[in-house]
């Protein structure tokens, strides 16, 4: 990853080992979006001695908040990792920006988008339609429902005709940036925007925003990471762990 991620400041990155002995010999890697307790337990049950995660293990971006261990969940997880000896490595700053097969590229591919009109690190704008915003929202939902997304939210009129869809990278999706890149409809995540700020800005600008779950927007990217590791290290078994992350919708 240090060879691939030439853009990463390796003196200050969250892409580090979070648990276990980095020098131990491993035989099977489990890959998932986040190292939740359920995901780690599944990995252990599947015989994984290494776990590659995209998001934090101990509830802080750099996994450096000692207050996390005031609570039983963090202590339980730490004890579990120590007992099993599982190695946990975070792959975030690298995989967000790997072209085509990284997080943003995989999100676009999974949605059937190609030929970006505009792009920059973490962001891209793709041609769609022209079509009604509501129809695009329904099309996106049909593609991501198998990932656990039961519904999507939309800001702005469903009847708006749109043709330029802006997408970002997980919680880093900024609606203003994508608007300035030329998007007339934006696909954001629920923790990548603020309703009181970004939502009202978009509404007053008469720009549509479709909102999905953060994890859902990055699952395809993590499946891609598992394939990459499998191809790069054929002597080690690699399994993508299909752990549900999206919240359930009560109707």
Burial of 95 (0-12, 13-18, 19+ CB in 10 A): buried
The reply to whether 222 falls in a domain is no
DSSP secondary structure code for residue 111 in this structure: T
- On whether both 107 and 211 belong to a single domain, the answer is yes
3-state SS of the chain: helix, strand, coil percent to 5?
Answer: 35, 20, 45
Q: Identify the CATH number of the domain in which residue 127 sits.
A: 3.40.1390.30
The reply to whether 191 falls in a domain is yes
The reply to whether 8 falls in a domain is no
The reply to whether 7 falls in a domain is no
What confidence tens digit (pLDDT) does each residue in 193-221 have?
A: 999 999 999 999 999 999 999 999 999 99
Question: 79: domain range?
Answer: 17-94
- Rounded CA gap, 165 and 191, in Å? 19
- The label of the residue with tokens 């790069």 reads 232
- On whether both 40 and 144 belong to a single domain, the answer is no
Tell me the pLDDT band of 124, cut-offs 50, 70 and 90: very high
pLDDT at 251 over 90: no
What confidence tens digit (pLDDT) does each residue in 87-120 have?
A: 999 999 999 999 999 999 999 999 999 999 999 9
- On whether both 82 and 164 belong to a single domain, the answer is no
Question: In sequence order, what are the residues at sequence separation of 6 or more whose Cβ sits closer than 8 angstroms to the Cβ of residue 142?
Answer: none
pLDDT (average), residues 159-174:
96
The last residue of one of the domains, among 66, 94, 122, is: 94
pLDDT (average), residues 171-190:
96
- On whether both 143 and 110 belong to a single domain, the answer is yes
What pLDDT does 180 receive? 98
pTM: 0.96
* Cβ–Cβ < 8 Å for 194, 137: no
The number of distinct structural domains making up the chain is 2
What pLDDT does 229 receive? 98
- On whether both 108 and 197 belong to a single domain, the answer is yes
Q: What is the mean pLDDT of the chain?
A: 97
- On whether both 85 and 115 belong to a single domain, the answer is no
The reply to whether 45 falls in a domain is yes
The reply to whether 44 falls in a domain is yes
pLDDT (average), residues 32-50:
98
- On whether both 118 and 195 belong to a single domain, the answer is yes
Question: In sequence order, what are the residues at sequence separation of 6 or more whose Cβ sits closer than 8 angstroms to the Cβ of residue 239?
Answer: 28, 29, 30, 31, 46, 48, 226
The reply to whether 246 falls in a domain is no
- On whether both 108 and 182 belong to a single domain, the answer is yes
């Amino acid at each position: 990853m240090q060879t691939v991620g030439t853009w990463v400041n390796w003196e200050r990155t969250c892409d580090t080992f979070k648990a276990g002995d980095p020098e131990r010999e491993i035989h099977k890697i489990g890959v998932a979006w986040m190292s939740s307790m359920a995901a780690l337990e599944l990995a252990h049950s599947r015989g994984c001695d290494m776990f590659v995660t995209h998001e934090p293990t101990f509830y802080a971006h750099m996994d450096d908040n000692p207050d996390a261990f005031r609570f039983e969940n963090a202590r339980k997880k730490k004890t579990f990792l120590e007992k099993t000896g599982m190695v946990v490595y975070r792959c975030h700053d690298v995989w967000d920006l790997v072209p085509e097969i990284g997080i943003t590229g995989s999100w676009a591919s999974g949605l059937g988008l190609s030929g970006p009109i505009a792009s920059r690190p973490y962001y891209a704008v793709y041609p769609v339609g022209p079509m009604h915003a509501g129809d695009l929202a329904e099309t996106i939902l049909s593609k991501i429902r198998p990932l656990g997304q039961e519904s999507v939210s939309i800001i702005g009129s469903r009847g708006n005709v749109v043709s330029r869809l802006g997408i970002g990278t997980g919680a880093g999706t900024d609606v203003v940036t994508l608007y300035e890149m030329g998007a007339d409809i934006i696909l954001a995540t629920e923790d990548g925007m603020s309703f009181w700020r970004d939502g009202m800005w978009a509404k007053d600008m008469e720009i549509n925003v479709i909102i999905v779950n953060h994890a859902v927007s990055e699952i395809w990217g993590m499946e891609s990471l598992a394939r990459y590791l499998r191809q790069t290290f054929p002597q080690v078994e690699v399994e993508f762990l299909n752990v549900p992350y999206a919240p359930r919708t009560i109707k």
